[in-house]
Amino acid sequence: MGDLRGKGVWLLYSRNVDLAIEMALAIGATHIFYKTGDRGMFFVDAARRVYQRVRKAGLIPFAWTFIYCDDPNAEAEVAIQSARIGYEGIIFDIEEQAAGKNVGAVALGRRLLEAGLEPERLFYTSYPNIWQHLDIPYREMNEFCRGGFMPQCYPTFRRTPPTVIKKWAYGEHARWNEEWGNMPPLYPILAAYKDEHATQRLTPQEFLEWAQVLADQDPPFYSIYRAGVTNRDLWPILAALGEGAPPPRPATEEGTEEASPPPTEPPIPPERPVEGAEEEEAEPPPVYHVVTVNDTLWTLCDRYNISREQFWEWNGHLWDERGLPRDPIYLQEGWRVRVG
């Protein structure tokens, strides 16, 4: 895998995959980064489903996973299984939970290389202000994540865009590359919210300041965290920032590209009828239920007259994305589940 070019959209929950694809096509992105696991837990069903949707849309799927470096074999297995599904790159999110776990990071890298994963396909993301987090094993991650380093250039730091992007992300990358001699390529990540829960969103005017500072650095690739918390009124700014992708060419069922000329319009998601196809009656909108303390999977299925298999097909991602086994006992109050 060569150096990245283009743009990426981060995806946290599989339920937002269609939104992520819509956003990617609107801003000219080339990649979608989906969270396929957390520490040693692999979200197998959701990972497969998202991979297939992203590939059919003509975009490049990358996997990302959160690591603590406290169970390197299990954390490596998430990456290995993601690669086996077909994800073209793997991104490790390593933050303060991995502080001081240098040996675990080395063991993680060794296991990945033993499994045959190419270092150029491996990336990692962490804080841009490296000098304040030297207990995080940046240097050890550099040894096997040769694809790139993705600093989190977020407004949550409560600093100005020049400080976070120019001084921290780019300045620290250059400083530690000179010190260590092994920093991989730099691919910044932007975000459009001010608080950890992404409830305080940036206005277009505020976000434009971040976009302009990043544009001044002329990155070959950048990404935005994430679909679901990036307001639509920011999409035109992201479309103007960086090199836009050509219209994607959907993959065939065999996984190869169509031999015919590329379409003049973005590919239509499978849920929409293909032009010229026999018109069908529109499906009713989905029905959702907010789980209460007295609800169980069985009572919900009985109340809404759906099978347990249908319930799991619609809602299994809620268990997968939290690293929970698909057991009705883990149904949680407050979840919004589809029931029709």
pLDDT digits (tens, 9 = 90+) for 269-320: 434 333 333 333 344 678 889 999 789 888 999 889 888 877 877 788 787 7
Predicted model pTM: 0.76
53 in a domain, yes or no? yes
CATH of the domain at 205: 3.20.20.80
Same domain, 158 and 301: no
Question: Is 137 found in the same domain as 193?
Answer: yes
List pLDDT tens digits, range 165-181.
999 999 999 999 999 99
Per-residue pLDDT tens digits for 13-22: 999 999 999 9
Within a domain: 312: yes
Say how far apart CA 194 and CA 105 lie, in whole Å: 30
Same domain, 214 and 122: yes
Q: Do 164 and 15 fall within a single domain?
A: yes
- Same domain membership, residue 299 and residue 226: no
The verdict on residue 128 lying in a domain is yes
Note the pLDDT of residue 315: 84
Instruction: Out of 240, 273, 307, pick the residue that ends a domain.
Output: 240
Whether 294 and 231 share a structural domain: no
Which carries the bigger pLDDT value, residue 243 or residue 338?
Answer: 338
Could you tell me the pLDDT band of residue 250, with boundaries at 50, 70 and 90?
low
Tell me, yes or no, whether 22 and 141 share the same domain: yes
Last residue of a domain, one of 224, 240, 256: 240
pLDDT of residue 187: 99
Cα(31)–Cα(248) distance, integer angstroms: 11
- Most confidently predicted of 93-102, 253-262, 327-336: 93-102
Structure tokens at 110: 């060794």
- Domain of 313, CATH number, reads 3.10.350
User: Which pLDDT value is given to residue 274?
Assistant: 37
pLDDT in the model for residue 273: 37
Q: Which of these three, 173, 205, 240, is where a domain ends? A: 240
Residue 262 has pLDDT above 60, yes or no: no
In a domain, 279, yes or no: no
Res. 87 pLDDT band, cuts 50 70 90: very high
Domain count, the chain: 2
Same-domain status, 156 and 218: yes
Q: Are residues 174 and 54 in the same domain?
A: yes
pLDDT at 252: 52
| Domain extent at residue 174 | 6-240
Give the chain's count of helices (H) and strands (E): 11, 11
Phi, psi dihedrals of residue 193, rounded to the nearest 5°: -145, 160
Does some domain include residue 280? no
Look at residues 324, 220, 180, 218 and name the one whose alpha carbon lies nearest to residue 4.
Answer: 220
Judgement on whether residues 63 and 206 belong to the same structural domain of the protein: yes
In degrees and rounded to multiples of 5, residue 210 shows phi and psi of -65, -45
Burial (CB count <10 Å: 0-12, 13-18, 19+), residue 62: buried
Dihedral sign of CA atoms 221, 142, 161, 190 in order:
positive
Residue 262 maps to a domain:
no
312 plus 227 within the same structural domain: no
Q: What is the pLDDT of residue 271?
A: 41
Q: Are residues 18 and 78 in the same domain?
A: yes
Look over the chain and give the mean of its residue pLDDT values, rounded to a whole number.
88
Residue 83 lies in a domain: yes
**Which amino acid would we find at residue 181?**
G
- Residue 270, in any domain of the structure: no
